[in-house]
Amino acid sequence: MNLFENDTITVTGKKQASEHIIGRYENFGWQLTEKKEDKRYDDTVHMTFTRPHSIENKDKLQLLQVRLEIAYNNTGKLAQKIGSQATLIASLFALVAIAFIAGGVYLILTRGLLPIIFGAVACAGGAFFATVGGVLAARVYKKDKQKYTRLIENEVQKIEDLCAQAKQLRGANE
């Protein structure tokens, strides 16, 4: 067996995306030789691919593959951003609301008419902050979801274009 007869790569991805990944890497001349689940994470798989070492247009295919992997990474990063700002806003408003409500409850439990009045006002302020924070977070989430979904769709289109270019370089018109 010649060590340099075939090139080998291992790609790690989410289990639900594995068939998509396999199909895309086949466009670059890679054939799946092994697929195994991660020992630690149930939703992760490791896929090993091989292709002939001497493949026509190898350098161009390799460049396109690097761009493919960058697009895949960008897609993941964009997907993670969808809820991050909304979560931060909701958390900040929730902390302020909790502080107002805790202070209000403390004042209500003390003796005297004035602390009870201020305690009720503080509790109402806490409820206001909780409501405003929830509404604001929902709006930010909706806006971010639209924005990042559009950017993810652009990355997916890049992936499809790169795969089409790779197929063309390999002369595969399936």
97-101 own/partner pairs: CB under 8 Å, 24+ apart = 97/126, 97/127, 97/128, 97/129, 97/130, 97/133, 98/126, 99/126, 100/125, 100/126, 100/129, 101/126, 101/127
DSSP codes of every residue in 111-163: SSHHHHHHHHHHHHHHHHHHHHHHHHHHHHHHHHHHHHHHHHHHHHHHHHHHH
Counted residue by residue, the chain has a size of 174
**Spatial distance between the Cα atoms of 161 and 64, rounded to a whole number of angstroms:** 10
Q: Kindly report the average pLDDT of the chain as a whole number.
A: 93
pLDDT at 2 over 80: no
**Spatial distance between the Cα atoms of 75 and 24, rounded to a whole number of angstroms:** 15
* Cβ atoms of 145 and 82 closer than 8 Å: yes
Span 79-135, pLDDT tens digits:
999 999 999 999 999 999 999 999 999 999 988 899 999 999 999 999 999 999 999
pLDDT tier at 173, thresholds 50, 70, 90:
low
